[in-house]
Amino acid sequence: MTIDELRGRVADFLATHDPRSTDRLEFLRARYDAGLAWVAFPEGHGGLGVPQALQAEVDRLFVEAGAPDNNPSANGIGLGMAAPTILAFGTDAQKARFLKPLWTGEEIWCQLFSEPGAGSDLAGVATRAVRDGDAWVVNGQKVWTSGAHNAKYAILVARTDPDQPKHSGLTYFLCDMTDPGIEVRPLRQITGEAEFNEVFLTDVRIPDSHRLGEEGQGWKVANATLNNERVSIGKTALRESGMIGVVARTWRAQPERRTPELHDRLLRLWVDAEAARITGQRLRQKLAQGQPGPEGSAMKLAFATIAQQLSGLELELLGEDGLRYSDWTMVRPESVDFTGRDAGYRYLRAKGNSIEGGTSEILRNIIAERVLGLPAEPRLDKDVPWKELQK
């Protein structure tokens, strides 16, 4: 399909669905059914099977028409992580059930991966899922769960076979966050807000029809999710968007604070941010074709490094004004905003960038071993049954 043919499809859709008079949810559902949601997805699942590069043009046309969006900032985990994983590993019934309400924003998603004893070493998760007829009974605790307080569904990794080595005994589930036995508690961050949560699961029953992938295949499925996550975190589509745009505007507005040294740092970071943006576009095209790879770790590592350096530079540009912090009230936001509020907030929030989505230390190991082909670190627990590992 050519770009002109795609433009024609959008024009035909808008001619029969006037965004000024059509109900918002009805409009979004119809857009999904027309294959104009995420155009790289297959037909019948919100797409047309066309190159991901055409998505930007479709989105532009809908924005110009005044069409409602699906509030992507409130469902970043669903759109960026759950959806491509369901597309890659889900059954036809799972795709039909979950993808449409996910894209329209009717169902918000969160991620139940990390645990108090299994953060960077995700394969060490202890949350147990035990088969009981046509369901699984889940018990355990998850932590650092962004948006769990707003989520309808979660992607969940649990241990189903403790007799297997830690990477082999895991299974991946789609968990209804409104089921009995799920308790969500806020975790207050250095910014004052609580976008994170800890989640306790007590005898939660998940039907086997909500298992994603084969039993024991959880590590493979989770890796696909994480590769998608590392590309989606901090993604920017336009030049000078994200943190580099914020700092560039601050630079232009503060001529009296400019120095040659700050100018040099800003230019170097501008180049780094632009290189990361273009690299991210290429990686997202691979993801749309179902080819997530370890290169996403480099993308996420670059984002964290650049964001932290830029937020520090912004404080230096602002001088004493950068020390102000507008509000430390404990709130539970609906979405994660890396560039929101003021400079003080951005500086504190950026500290989490090198932890969330995989710590920078772990990402460097992944890049070294799986991208550069360097010798792997010794792993004495690789072939040991999980139940025999020291906890």
Between CA 210 and CA 212, with CA 211 as vertex, the angle to 5 degrees is 110
**pLDDT over 70 at 232, yes or no:** no
Active site residue 240: no
Tell me the pLDDT tens digit for each residue of 233-267: 656 667 888 899 999 999 999 899 899 999 999 99
* Helix, strand, or coil (residue 227): helix
Q: Domain span at residue 297?
A: 222-371
Q: Pick the more confident residue, 291 or 20.
A: 20
Please, which pLDDT band fits residue 149 given cuts at 50, 70 and 90?
Answer: very high
**Among candidate residues 135, 202, 216, the one with its CA nearest the CA of residue 169:** 216
**Among candidate residues 337, 343, 353, 288, the one with its CA nearest the CA of residue 321:** 343
Q: Is 140 exposed, middle or buried (0-12, 13-18, 19+ CB in 10 A)?
A: buried
What is the enclosing helix (H) or strand (E) of 304?
Answer: helix 295-318
Q: What is the model's pLDDT at position 101?
A: 98
Give the count of beta carbons closer than 10 Å to the beta carbon of residue 122: 20
- Domain limit, last residue, from 59, 84, 104: 104
Is the pTM higher than 0.85? yes
CATH code: domain of residue 67: 1.10.540.10
Please, which pLDDT band fits residue 204 given cuts at 50, 70 and 90?
Answer: very high
**pLDDT over 70 at 286, yes or no:** no
Distance CA 136, CA 170 (A): 13
Segment 130-149 shows an average pLDDT of: 96
Looking at the fold, whether 272 and 365 belong to one and the same domain comes out as yes
Please, which pLDDT band fits residue 181 given cuts at 50, 70 and 90?
Answer: very high
**pLDDT over 80 at 158, yes or no:** yes
Q: Which of 69-73, 137-141, 160-164 has the lowest mean pLDDT?
A: 69-73
Looking at the fold, whether 199 and 328 belong to one and the same domain comes out as no
**pLDDT over 60 at 79, yes or no:** yes
CATH code: domain of residue 172: 2.40.110.10
**pLDDT over 70 at 64, yes or no:** yes
Distance CA 17, CA 26 (A): 9
In degrees rounded to 5, what are phi and psi of residue 141? -135, 135
**pLDDT over 70 at 288, yes or no:** no
Looking at the fold, whether 166 and 302 belong to one and the same domain comes out as no
Contact 172, 221 (CB under 8 A): yes
Give how far Cα 51 sits from Cα of 9, 44, 55, 230, Å.
15, 16, 8, 21
Segment 141-170 shows an average pLDDT of: 96
Distance CA 92, CA 106 (A): 20
- Domain limit, last residue, from 199, 216, 233: 216
Distance CA 362, CA 216 (A): 23
Averaged confidence pLDDT in the chain? 91
Segment 132-160 shows an average pLDDT of: 97
Give how far Cα 251 sits from Cα of 254, 259, 279, Å.
5, 10, 25
End-to-end CA gap in the chain: 54
Q: What is the model's pLDDT at position 300?
A: 87
Looking at the fold, whether 364 and 241 belong to one and the same domain comes out as yes
Looking at the fold, whether 227 and 364 belong to one and the same domain comes out as yes
Please, which pLDDT band fits residue 323 given cuts at 50, 70 and 90?
Answer: confident
Q: Pick the more confident residue, 379 or 193.
A: 193
**pLDDT over 60 at 292, yes or no:** no
DSSP character for 130? E
- Which among 198, 229, 295, 314 is annotated as catalytic? 229
Looking at the fold, whether 114 and 157 belong to one and the same domain comes out as yes
